[in-house]
A and B are shown apart, each in its own frame.
Chain A
């Protein structure tokens, strides 16, 4: 199966250790949330996995494929992950349809199958009626759905989400939490989700990894962590809920 495994992955910027060597396993079909305060290194970890940054040490393996390791560094476009950014990053010069179509187009799929794939995915995120719109004609929530569709359309082995809901209002956030969880269940895809919001993590994830100052403080299912938070940072952090 295609589990995502990180072995001793670390990142230094100059003299500073942004991430201490860490091991993380994201099993196939799971929903793992990287939780921690801002600046803790969780986004960096996600970008290392995506291939947007290069680790200083360690190994990243997806199933049987080494993505990063000694002498290997597969560029991000070949890692086949889907990714949703905090700022949505939907392209202002393309319509919703074109945005979502892009990953399929890049991979050379023919027009007809592309259209089918796009419409199916837009349907999933309830954007099918807005396919012809440009991003500046959309609300923040609609832009985020577009970004989500773009991440899902090529049915990636793992979908990476970087604080996708932090720019939305509370009502929309609740709605989107539900939708993302439903999507995960319905499609059975693997999700790696970075957030600083405990509620998002505990409500959606099957496994939570709590990170602070570049180190893993605790990992486990939401229930495990709720019942037995590690003393020190985790206990302190959770008490602020």
Chain B
């Protein structure tokens, strides 16, 4: 019914696996994100400030790089952690949950961290003065008040996992565990025109599920909003940090260990692989810089660096800027149209990249033909990649910003309106500074995945259109694993470095200045 060569039972199997995987990731990343956001903003955990920035780093790592790294780590013959998963390595459901959660963690985490930072701390302090212990305060006050960003973050995690392809392909397919995206992919890959049609039919199924989740999450958020969700008051004091007491040392140790396992371990695995002369030959005595040199001297590398930087910076800025205005119109001006656009952005976000790319190839061919009639020719792969990125990644920033607008008390805006501010001045002088932390987080969450995007770029690229993702794909398919690992390691290091320097320096200044 859905596709050639695949039984309905297989489709249902994949559908159920997609659902359970996405749910598991949403709940794990939601719970972990909530806990870590609380620890770094509200407790006296050791190195809380450093952790606060560091924990947004995993999102900078493209999931497929993490997948690569975990495969190396879990290798049954030479892997460093093969004892943990002796049966099938990191292949299978547990591996997919692990890797997807590492990345998807950032959605609830960043939303909740921003939420905690915006929330008037005396709301929580009042509960403590009422006799509630920190956990109880969290349960009775913080959690219900931060419900909208929590639901929103988990919803993004869910949709992200639902539409993700790289990790299920790397960790699920080898052990015969298919999800919808990998099923769609195999349809596209070897089915001719009938395959494309079948793939698109399956995508509709995926889309239907995504819409369901979006509607459901909006209901959940609305439920809370009806009771007045504005929780940012005029801030009087910095929050008093909750003393973890005897728990401080273990909490600190566990949190740092989790961070190390999520980031440092894969980073190290890629470094080892990058220096190996041949995949699997990880002995330090054999280490070589050959692979790194090879990658850095590739002619495409420079082209890809320029393209990827230009694309990610410009498209992310555009997307976040548009999201900032749209969310303003939707939340503050009650514009139906803007609200719909933001809702609609959820569609490409939860559509697999392969499907978007295929559809854009249609569009670009039509566009080229139409322009050809006027004697123009237009086939810039970079333009279409930028277009694809904007489509795919606009939802994150728009939704984050809308949630942030909702949390700020209207009086802050009204004060400015009364002072005679026009909409433009209002946005520039009130909303932008107030939401700067969210804006920065949103930009960061938009630009980084664009920098390393692979799935769509590989299909849309053309001469002069190399990006980091396409070069990595090239290396993986046509060179060898160590060279691919070398580029992956460079990308990962760059992304981590970027995330490290970006970790809200500006935000800190604003916080201090207030």
A53 to B243, CA, bound (A): 9
Q: Are B136 and A87 in contact (CB under 8 A)?
A: no
A83 to B230, CA, bound (A): 22
Q: Which of A47, A73, A147 contacts B240 (CB 8 A)?
A: A47
| CB-nearest residue of chain B to A163 | B236
A48 to B128, CA, bound (A): 14
Assuming the contacts A52-B240, A89-B126, A93-B144, asked whether A75 and B120 have C-beta atoms less than 8 A apart, the reply is no
Enumerate chain A residues within 8 angstroms of B228, measured Cβ to Cβ.
Answer: 92, 134-136
Q: Which of A53, A73, A75, A91 has the most CB of B within 10 A?
A: A91
Q: Which of A75, A87, A102, A154 contacts B243 (CB 8 A)?
A: A75
* A76: Cβ under 8 A from any B Cβ: yes
Q: Which of B129, B132, B227, B236 contacts A83 (CB 8 A)?
A: B129
Q: Tell me how far the C-beta of B300 lies from the nearest C-beta in chain A, rounded to whole angstroms.
A: 50
A50 to B122, CA, bound (A): 12
A90 to B231, CA, bound (A): 10
Q: Which of B130, B133, B136, B237 contacts A150 (CB 8 A)?
A: B130
Q: Are B227 and A136 in contact (CB under 8 A)?
A: yes
Q: Are A73 and B125 in contact (CB under 8 A)?
A: no
Q: Which of B127, B224, B230, B234 contacts A87 (CB 8 A)?
A: B234
* A86: Cβ under 8 A from any B Cβ: yes
* B352: Cβ under 8 A from any A Cβ: no
A145 to B234, CA, bound (A): 19
Q: Are B125 and A83 in contact (CB under 8 A)?
A: yes
* A43: Cβ under 8 A from any B Cβ: yes
* A41: Cβ under 8 A from any B Cβ: no
Enumerate chain B residues within 8 angstroms of A136, measured Cβ to Cβ.
Answer: 227-228, 230
Q: Are A93 and B224 in contact (CB under 8 A)?
A: yes
Question: How many A-B pairs with Cβ below 8 Å?
Answer: 93
Q: Tell me how far the C-beta of B245 lies from the nearest C-beta in chain A, rounded to whole angstroms.
A: 8
Q: Which of B131, B140, B233, B236 has the most CB of A within 10 A?
A: B131
* A120: Cβ under 8 A from any B Cβ: no
A131 to B487, CA, bound (A): 64
Q: Are A43 and B243 in contact (CB under 8 A)?
A: no
Q: Are B128 and A102 in contact (CB under 8 A)?
A: no
Q: Tell me how far the C-beta of A80 lies from the nearest C-beta in chain B, rounded to whole angstroms.
A: 7
Q: Which of B129, B144, B231 contacts A76 (CB 8 A)?
A: B129
Enumerate chain A residues within 8 angstroms of B68, measured Cβ to Cβ.
Answer: none
Enumerate chain A residues within 8 angstroms of B227, measured Cβ to Cβ.
Answer: 92-93, 134, 136
Q: Are B237 and A77 in contact (CB under 8 A)?
A: no
Enumerate chain A residues within 8 angstroms of B120, measured Cβ to Cβ.
Answer: 87, 89
Enumerate chain A residues within 8 angstroms of B229, measured Cβ to Cβ.
Answer: 92
Q: Are B122 and A87 in contact (CB under 8 A)?
A: yes
Q: Are A106 and B131 in contact (CB under 8 A)?
A: yes
* A112: Cβ under 8 A from any B Cβ: no
A83 to B123, CA, bound (A): 11
| CB-nearest residue of chain A to B129 | A83
Enumerate chain B residues within 8 angstroms of A78, measured Cβ to Cβ.
Answer: 131
Q: Tell me how far the C-beta of B407 lies from the nearest C-beta in chain A, rounded to whole angstroms.
A: 11
* B200: Cβ under 8 A from any A Cβ: no
Q: Scoring B residues 135 to 167 as 1 if CB is less than 8 Å from chain A, else 0, what string do you get?
A: 010001100110000000000000000000000
Q: Which of A43, A73, A75 contacts B133 (CB 8 A)?
A: A75
Enumerate chain B residues within 8 angstroms of A86, measured Cβ to Cβ.
Answer: 122, 236
A74 to B133, CA, bound (A): 12
Assuming the contacts A86-B236, A87-B120, A87-B122, asked whether A106 and B129 have C-beta atoms less than 8 A apart, the reply is no
| CB-nearest residue of chain B to A98 | B140
Q: Tell me how far the C-beta of B120 lies from the nearest C-beta in chain A, rounded to whole angstroms.
A: 6
Q: Are A76 and B233 in contact (CB under 8 A)?
A: no
Q: Give the size category of B's interface with A.
A: 20 to 34
A87 to B124, CA, bound (A): 12
* A103: Cβ under 8 A from any B Cβ: yes
Assuming the contacts A89-B123, A92-B229, asked whether A103 and B130 have C-beta atoms less than 8 A apart, the reply is yes
Q: Give the size category of A's interface with B.
A: 35 or more
Q: 8 Å CB contacts to A: which residues of B211-253?
A: 224, 227-231, 233-234, 236-237, 240, 243, 245
Q: Are B236 and A87 in contact (CB under 8 A)?
A: yes
A9 to B111, CA, bound (A): 38
Q: Which of B128, B132, B245 has the most CB of A within 10 A?
A: B128
Q: Tell me how far the C-beta of B293 lies from the nearest C-beta in chain A, rounded to whole angstroms.
A: 47
Enumerate chain A residues within 8 angstroms of B123, measured Cβ to Cβ.
Answer: 89, 91
Q: Are A106 and B236 in contact (CB under 8 A)?
A: no
Enumerate chain B residues within 8 angstroms of A103, measured Cβ to Cβ.
Answer: 130-131
Q: Tell me how far the C-beta of A51 lies from the nearest C-beta in chain B, rounded to whole angstroms.
A: 8
Assuming the contacts A52-B125, A83-B126, asked whether A102 and B140 have C-beta atoms less than 8 A apart, the reply is yes
Q: Tell me how far the C-beta of B66 lies from the nearest C-beta in chain A, rounded to whole angstroms.
A: 37
Q: 8 Å CB contacts to B: which residues of A88-141?
A: 89-93, 102-103, 106-107, 134-136
Q: Are A85 and B125 in contact (CB under 8 A)?
A: yes
Q: Are B231 and A81 in contact (CB under 8 A)?
A: no
Q: Are A150 and B240 in contact (CB under 8 A)?
A: no
Enumerate chain A residues within 8 angstroms of B231, measured Cβ to Cβ.
Answer: 92
A76 to B128, CA, bound (A): 6
Q: Are A43 and B131 in contact (CB under 8 A)?
A: no
Q: Are B243 and A85 in contact (CB under 8 A)?
A: no
Q: Are B145 and A150 in contact (CB under 8 A)?
A: no
Q: Tell me how far the C-beta of A42 lies from the nearest C-beta in chain B, rounded to whole angstroms.
A: 12
* A27: Cβ under 8 A from any B Cβ: no
* A82: Cβ under 8 A from any B Cβ: yes
Q: Tell me how far the C-beta of B174 lies from the nearest C-beta in chain A, rounded to whole angstroms.
A: 47
* A142: Cβ under 8 A from any B Cβ: no
Q: Tell me how far the C-beta of A69 lies from the nearest C-beta in chain B, rounded to whole angstroms.
A: 15
| CB-nearest residue of chain A to B123 | A89
Q: Are A106 and B233 in contact (CB under 8 A)?
A: no
* A2: Cβ under 8 A from any B Cβ: no
* A30: Cβ under 8 A from any B Cβ: no
Assuming the contacts A89-B122, A92-B145, asked whether A106 and B130 have C-beta atoms less than 8 A apart, the reply is yes
Enumerate chain A residues within 8 angstroms of B132, measured Cβ to Cβ.
Answer: 77, 102, 106
Q: Tell me how far the C-beta of A189 lies from the nearest C-beta in chain B, rounded to whole angstroms.
A: 15
Q: Scoring A residues 39 to 75 as 1 if CB is less than 8 Å from chain B, else 0, what string do you get?
A: 0000100010011111000000000000000000101
Q: Are A43 and B237 in contact (CB under 8 A)?
A: yes
A16 to B307, CA, bound (A): 49
Residues of B within 8 A of A (CB): 120, 122-123, 125-133, 136, 140-141, 144-145, 224, 227-231, 233-234, 236-237, 240, 243, 245
4 nearest A-B residue pairs (beta carbon): A136-B228, A52-B240, A103-B130, A89-B122
Residues of A within 8 A of B (CB): 43, 47, 50-54, 73, 75-78, 80-83, 85-87, 89-93, 102-103, 106-107, 134-136, 147, 150-151, 154, 160
30 A-B pairs (CB sep. < 8 Å): A50-B129, A52-B129, A52-B240, A53-B240, A73-B243, A75-B128, A76-B125, A78-B131, A80-B131, A83-B126, A85-B126, A85-B236, A86-B122, A87-B122, A87-B233, A87-B234, A89-B120, A89-B122, A89-B233, A92-B228, A92-B230, A93-B227, A102-B130, A102-B140, A103-B130, A106-B136, A134-B227, A150-B130, A151-B129, A154-B130
